[in-house]
Amino acid sequence: MTLSMSSATLPVCTRMLTNLGHILAKAEQFVEAKKIDPTALTTYRLAPDMLPFTRQVLIACDAVKNGVARMGGVEAPKFEDTEATLPQLQERIQKTLAFIATVPAAALDGTEDKEITFPAGPGKTRTLKGQDYLTGWMLPNMYFHITTAYAILRHNGVDVGKIDYLMGAQG
């Protein structure tokens, strides 16, 4: 059986962003229970040269939004990147999920060999075939930023575990 581009993309991205939303909900509960300033989490970074939690969530959403749009040949919505609170980050996840739900599977299927050119740093671009873009750039980028967001919350005492990352609320 062959794995289609849409089945390797849409359900995976939907599940992971949904799980990220679940992890953020646990962070919101943690902030409320401990009566702490939520910026202790949203501005936290694992290392001085890494981006803070908020940017990790925004980039994870952008990796999905822009990746699906590039592969499907559709226009990605523009988000302002002004989210700063946990509820605003939840909204960003929901907007991203709503967008990818509008991209039909047929727009992604058959794009394995489509050349996709994308930004790869300041003033740089890369071009990869669709399947290589999906498996070697887009999905790893999404996983990296979701994992980093998870690690920041876990490091700061939020009660999240591997099952939250893998299964979200279904765990």
Q: What is the pTM of this model?
A: 0.96
Q: What is the residue range of 132's domain?
A: 5-170
What's the helix, strand, coil split of the chain in %, to 5?
65, 5, 30
Overall size of the chain counted in residues: 171
According to DSSP, residue 76 is labeled P
CA dihedral 73, 140, 18, 104 (to 10 degrees): 20
Tokens representing 115 are: 């050349």
CATH code: domain of residue 81:
1.20.120.450
Structural domain tally of the chain?
1
pLDDT digits (tens, 9 = 90+) for 54-102: 999 999 999 999 999 999 999 999 999 999 999 999 999 999 999 999 9
